[in-house]
Structure 1
Amino acid sequence: MSDSNGNLLIVDDNKVNRLLLSRGVELLGHRAAVAENGKIAMEMLRAGAYDLLLLDIEMPEMDGFEVLEALKNDADLRDIPVIVTSSVEGLDNIVRCIELGADDYIPKPVNKVLLKARVHSCLEKKRLHDEQKRLLRRFTTVEVARDLQDSGFAIGGRRITASVLFCDIRDFTSISENMTPEATIELLNTYYTLMFEAVTSHGGIVSLMVGDGLMALFGAPQPIENSAQSAILAAHEMLNMTAMLNEERAVMEEPELKVGFGIATGKVVAGYAGTDDRATYTCVGKTVNLAARLEAHTKVAGHPILFDQETMEGLLDPDGCTPIPPVQFKGFSEKLQVFGM
């Protein structure tokens, strides 16, 4: 979106005002849609994509103040800039509009020169804000981006119950020894594309990538109904996707990829770690350490997926879970019951 082709929604119960504003907006090079009251406008905003709202105040069914309130409380719509165009006089009304989130106020009759300047300014702010969101979502997940939008950024964490999944490609170092750096990166990009899809499709987020390994969280930053079940389903999908990838690799006579998964469920401290200049969303705690130990233990346990007692208790259908002899993991005082799939 640029200031030369903005998509504007004009909301006014007066047909003449709608026509005049539409013509003025279109002469400036923008597209214009119209709504005759706030209720219709909210329906259109939820169904379409608009860059700027020109909003009247006095309207039947849902007035401009109510529209501003609704936008303010809707995470998906609150970033749409709003210019109030109204004949309602009084400083109190203007202040109320600004407090409810309006970006600007133009009295009626609307001055064309002023309208051009205010529209240009608001569209430029929208463009910059959209670019910030695009960059944020490129380097974080949608869930983390939403958490930042809703809660703001602050170094620190909170204690929650979640499921942690670790995944790793077996013997990747030896596989990559005979590959060019470009081919190695291409393989990792392909692998991560598949793994990310499996994780996100089951409500999780990938919080860490190190070489050929990754850590995924289920239940943070946003809670989900059954984090253990979601993590197990994601691991199965990741395993199946790897099998399909191996079919393609076999045709090209490339070595098979083998993966291992460790899943643990319990209390973690999740939040933003780092500094005000550079931080990441992650989690720490014994549950995280256990998931990492379980993933490493798949190399000797004979199961590609290992998980703890708490994860097993969260499964809707525990059939297929195979208990293996209790394991004494480093950093844990007692042997722990482990299950495999």
Structure 2
Amino acid sequence: MKQHAKPQHGPKNSGYILVVDDNRMNRLMLARGLEKQGHQAAFAENGRQALAMLAEQDFDLILLDIEMPEMNGYQVLDHLAANVRWRDLPVIMISAVDEIDSVVRCIELGAEDYLTKPFNPVLLKARVDASLEKKRLRDEQRALFCKFTSDEVAEELLNSGFSLGGRLVEATVLFSDIRSFTTIAESKTPQETIELLNDYFSLMFEAIANEGGVVNQMIGDGLMCIFGAPLPLIDHHQRAVRAARQMIELIRRFNQEQARLNRVQIRIGIGIASGAVVAGCVGTQHRATYTCIGDTVNLAARLETHTKTVGQPILIEENTYLGLNGKIEVAPQGEVQLKGKTRAVKVFSVPVADDRT
């Protein structure tokens, strides 16, 4: 369902508030008070209508009655807690039910606060302002996380909290690197090198994100990404290989534009491996990064390096090949003794439109 942006409204601290109450006079009185405080209000007559509105629009706060037909306030709180999009949306209960058991139940179900009817306008203003401020801080925290990590990792940190360690998952790891980048950098100014890298990473991030991958490391001109963590992906093998092919195609188009502008062209190598990895936050309580570790990670890195030896832009190993289920064409490259591996590895190349890339 398409989601519509909330309307623009008043001062910085104002909010777009959904008032949910089956009593028309209560709705009008609340709206009048909210508008005097600089907020904008929308109305729902019951919980079911409120959920439908939430699916269509973004709100900053909900003022929610308890006793309503079709779906009561308790049921609405259950739905909000079960939905990732809505679980952080602040809710203030407004009800004629003035019983401690009701208050406790609402707070346990996730309500931010509780007011009884008839409500005190001054107290209502204070509770509304406090709830909106908490939401603003949460939104700023989420935006900050997303600047330094992927949306998926940011959501996991916000939902489950930060802790060092990880969990064992089945995933596919992809390493990519610009070939002869040191030579390219020597002929460029630092500003030109940064511009080239920014253009390169923008293209690679697009291809990886299109297939549900998460970029978790950028080291110089290289990057590492994961398919299958923190969010599981059943078809992570196929997604990684499709992303790799998109990366090569985007580089091909990028080089066409570079040639037109008489600028340096680049080639990349990609190594992909699938298997068990430990994914999670690694580091200290003061500085950490979300990553994955294990033999699968090392194997993907070795395969990326081996692309320079065989002159193929994309190399995968046997587990990735088996996970493709014949849906993507590959070419056997035989068994290869990769550095650091005690056993030879079955290697396959993935044909692309223009292998010269």
Range class of TM-score, shorter chain = over 0.9
State the distance in 2 between where 1:32 and 1:319 align: 52
TM-score normalised by length of structure 1: 0.97
State the distance in 2 between where 1:143 and 1:209 align: 17
| Equivalent residue runs for 1:55-134 within 5 Å | 55-134=64-143
Identity of aligned residues (%): 53
TM-score normalised by length of structure 2: 0.93
Q: Which amino acid aligns with 2:183?
A: S
In the alignment, is the contact (CA less than 8 A) between 2:142 and 2:158 conserved in 1? Answer: no
Query: Which among 171, 175, 184 is matched to residue 162 of structure 1?
Result: 171
Q: For 1:133-163, what per-residue CA distance to the aligned partner results, in whole angstroms no more than 9, with x for missing partners?
A: 1001111111112222333322111211111
Q: Which amino acid aligns with 1:309?
A: E
- 2:309 matches 1:300: yes
Which residues of structure 2 form unaligned runs of 5+? 1-8, 351-357
State the distance in 2 between where 1:78 and 1:114 align: 24
State the distance in 2 between where 1:8 and 1:307 align: 52
Q: Which amino acid aligns with 2:338?
A: F
Could you tell me which residue of structure 1 aligns to residue 205 of structure 2?
196
How far did residue 319 of structure 1 move?
Answer: 5.8
Could you tell me which residue of structure 2 aligns to residue 181 of structure 1?
190
In the alignment, is the contact (CA less than 8 A) between 1:3 and 1:124 conserved in 2? Answer: no
Aligned pair count reads 341
Q: Which amino acid aligns with 1:195?
A: M
In the alignment, is the contact (CA less than 8 A) between 2:13 and 2:132 conserved in 1? Answer: no
- 2:222 matches 1:222: no
Query: Which among 258, 274, 278 is matched to residue 267 of structure 2?
Result: 258
In the alignment, is the contact (CA less than 8 A) between 1:312 and 1:318 conserved in 2? Answer: no
Which residues of structure 1 form unaligned runs of 5+? none
Q: Which amino acid aligns with 1:312?
A: Y
State the distance in 2 between where 1:284 and 1:18 align: 55
State the distance in 2 between where 1:68 and 1:321 align: 51
In the alignment, is the contact (CA less than 8 A) between 1:11 and 1:36 conserved in 2? Answer: yes
The range that moved more, 16-25 or 182-191, is 182-191
State the distance in 1 between where 2:25 and 2:267 align: 68
How well do the aligned residues superpose, as a CA RMSD in angstroms? 1.3
Q: For 1:231-253, what per-residue CA distance to the aligned partner results, in whole angstroms no more than 9, with x for missing partners?
A: 10000000001111111110111
The runs of 4+ residues in structure 1 deviating greater than 6 Å are: none
State the distance in 1 between where 2:32 and 2:327 align: 64
In the alignment, is the contact (CA less than 8 A) between 1:3 and 1:120 conserved in 2? Answer: no
Could you tell me which residue of structure 2 aligns to residue 329 of structure 1?
338
